[in-house]
Every structure is written in C-alpha cells, then in structure tokens.
Amino acid sequence: MKQMIRYALLALLAFSAPAHAQEEEPKWSLAIHGGAGTITPERITPELRAQYEAALQEALDAGTQVLKDGGSAMDAVKAAIVPLEDNPLFNAGRGAVFTWEGENELDASIMDGSDRSAGAVTGVKSIKNPILLADKVRTESRHVFLSGAGAEEFAGEHGLETAEPEWFATERRRKALERMKAQQTSALEVDHKFGTVGAVALDLKGNLAAGTSTGGMTGKRWGRIGDSPMIGSGNYADNRSCAVSATGSGEYFIRVGVAKEICTRLRYRFRMDIDKAQAEVPKRPDGFPQYIIHAYEIPLSADAAQEETDAVMQEVEELGGSGGVILVTNEGDALFSFTTSGMYRGRATSDGVNEVAIFADE
C-alpha cells in the first residue's frame, strides 16, 4: 500500500508542471497540404508551379492570420481549407475529381483536439464548402458522420451555401475520367497525384484541430468512401498529442488507421521518454529516486515525432499504399511525412517558419 501511494505521488509530481513551466511563451503552429503524389519538376510547368505555390501561400496566410490574432485552431483550419476548396487546382470542392458516373461527390471531416468533437460528411454534391458542413455536423448535431442526401438535407436546415454542379466540374478532371475509362488505367495513373486538401493547427491556448476535404479518387463507384472523411484514418486531433491530416490511397490509410495511429504513438512515446528518464535517475539508499523528472522537462522532440510518423507511413507503404500526412504536435512542431516524390504543402509557426513546398527535396 505504502509503495502504491509513493508511486501515485511520484506520477502526480512528474505530470504537474510548476509555475515557471507554465510561463513559457505560448506558441501557435499551422501546416497545410494540397495532396501528394508523383509530382516532379518534369511533370509541372514553371507557371503551374507558381500557381500552386501562390494558392498554398494564400491558404497558409489565411490560417496564420487567425492564429496570430489569437483565434482558435479550429477557425484557422477552416480559414485555410476554404480557399483550397474554392481553388480548382485541388481535388476538393471546386475542381474535385469525377466519379465513374461523371459527378463530383465530396467528402470532408474536421476534429477539435480539445474535446475530441468531430464531424464528417461523405458523398455530398451541392455544398460549396464541405469542410464547413462537416463542422456543422460537429457543432449542431448529435452525430459524427452523415452521408449523401441526408447530409444535404441537414445542410439545408443549417443554411450552408450551395452550388450548382457546374461550380465543381472542371474540364481537366473530366478529361482525367475519360482517359481512365478509355485506357482502363487506375485513378493514380490518370491523376499523378491525389490533390486532397487539409490543415492542422495549434492555437495560443494549446488547442489542436485538424480538417481534411476531398473529391476522392477519379472514377470511384459503388459509393466508395476513402479515408478523408473517416475520423481516425484521414483526420484526427487530440490535445494530448497531435493533429493529423492525410492524403493518399485511401484504402490503405483506412486499413492502417493512419491519423489516430500517429497520435497514439506520439502520446505513448512521450510517456515512455519520461519513464525512461525517470528510471535513469540515481536512487537514494531507500531506493527512492533522488529527484523527480517533470513532464515539462522532456517535451516530445520534433525528431521523435517525425520518427513515429515516418514509421506509420512506412506501414502504409509496406501494405502497398502511398501518400502523405501533415501534423502539428502539442509542442508546436509542424511536420510532414510522405512516401511520394512530392506533396503540395506549407507550414507556418510562431517561431518564424513560413514556407510552401512541392517536391520531396525542397
């Protein structure tokens, strides 16, 4: 019993940060993506590259502004995703890929790491910004995941902006479907990249949020649903660890449960690092450690977070999938991991980072 009390006290001490630890300057952090895939300098003209970079920067700036002004991670995620959904360059909202039947069916999900409230929609055809509908599901319904006609009906009741099919349809994506049907190729071969969009953020209050939005895969049929709207696969946020948004061959991301797997690994890695450091503390003659390691003394390092994330992406690759993830940790590190030759991405932090990139070696 005595021993148990001693360990309970030890655990309490280890996880309670003293006053000076809380005085640390609060941080904000943001990462965005616009899809991953076989993106190489040879496949993209300098003009198109400039267009992608400008679009990523616009989204990054929109989210950054919210965080700099003291806004929530949730608002920053939406602010970054809406312009990407509206931009026909990306496979989300306007510019989404076509289904086998020649329609645009949209999926989106969003999650708040502070209370793990989540909302998601799949197969919607008339909602201009599906990420905003996913958020309404999160805040205004008792459910997490709505589909098709029911999701549209819910959107109508909550005044979401709608758009005609022509708003979403682009020539480039229609041609991709025609090519796929004519050459009997796979979605990956016609698209070269995935094009889903996503954002993850940490705000000054220490709250994390994640959002993901997509048109899915070219030529999808039979009501196929990918990972993007699935909480835990293409999207996840938990203040205890990180916020993740994914893009890639959805079936594999679902099978690995990528986003949740990364958050869980980070959570336990953090605890393991503390336990390890505590075990190395010299002991007093009575066996009690000479001092206590506090949780704040060993924050999860960016390297450790990267290592865990890369390990999960390696699992995706081993199963035969490909793609990438963005994540922001509760320590404020904004990271990427992808198995493809490129990923449209960007990150900004209160430490002065502000960059967009496309190719793997950038």
Does residue 226 belong to the site contacting ligand ASP (CB under 6 A)?
yes
Does residue 236 belong to the site contacting ligand ASP (CB under 6 A)?
no
The active-site residue out of 122, 196, 214, 339 is 196
Number of residues in contact with ligand ASP under rule CB under 6 A: 15
Q: By C-beta, is 207 or 214 nearer to ligand ASP? A: 214
Does residue 219 belong to the site contacting ligand ASP (CB under 6 A)?
no
Does residue 232 belong to the site contacting ligand ASP (CB under 6 A)?
no
Strand partners, 326: 245, 336
Q: Tell me how far, at minimum, the Cβ of 204 lies from ligand ASP, in Å.
A: 30
Q: How far apart, in whole angstroms, are the C-alpha atoms of residue 186 and residue 193?
A: 12
Does residue 213 belong to the site contacting ligand ASP (CB under 6 A)?
no
Q: Tell me how far, at minimum, the Cβ of 58 lies from ligand ASP, in Å.
A: 20
Does residue 63 belong to the site contacting ligand ASP (CB under 6 A)?
no
Task: Give the other-Cβ count within 10 Å of 40's Cβ.
Answer: 14
Q: How far apart, in whole angstroms, are the C-alpha atoms of residue 151 and residue 143?
A: 11
Does residue 211 belong to the site contacting ligand ASP (CB under 6 A)?
no
Closest CA to 212 of 348, 54, 355, 80: 80
- Adjacency order of strands within the sheet including 334-338: 235-237, 242-248, 323-329, 334-338
- Adjacency order of strands within the sheet including 208-214: 145-147, 117-124, 106-112, 208-214, 197-202, 29-37, 342-349, 354-359
247 is catalytic: no
Does residue 194 belong to the site contacting ligand ASP (CB under 6 A)?
yes
Q: How far apart, in whole angstroms, are the C-alpha atoms of residue 72 and residue 62?
A: 13
The only residue of 104, 109, 213, 247 in contact with ligand ASP, by rule CB under 6 A: 247
Give the SS3 label for residue 350: coil
The only residue of 170, 228, 340, 349 in contact with ligand ASP, by rule CB under 6 A: 228
Pairing, β 106-112 against β 117-124: antiparallel
**Under 8 Å between Cβ of 19 and 170:** no
Q: For ligand ASP, which stretch binds (CB under 6 A), given 6-14, 21-29, 54-62, 191-199?
A: 191-199
Task: Give the other-Cβ count within 10 Å of 287's Cβ.
Answer: 8
The only residue of 34, 35, 113, 346 in contact with ligand ASP, by rule CB under 6 A: 35
Q: By C-beta, is 63 or 234 nearer to ligand ASP? A: 234
Q: By C-beta, is 247 or 337 nearer to ligand ASP? A: 247
**Under 8 Å between Cβ of 211 and 131:** yes
Task: Give the other-Cβ count within 10 Å of 284's Cβ.
Answer: 10
Q: Tell me how far, at minimum, the Cβ of 252 lies from ligand ASP, in Å.
A: 9
Q: Interaction with ligand ASP in 250-269: which residues (CB under 6 A)?
A: 250
Does residue 83 belong to the site contacting ligand ASP (CB under 6 A)?
no
Active-site residues, by number, are: 196
Q: Which residues make up the interface to ligand ASP (CB under 6 A)?
A: 35, 91, 194-196, 214, 216-217, 226-228, 234, 247-248, 250
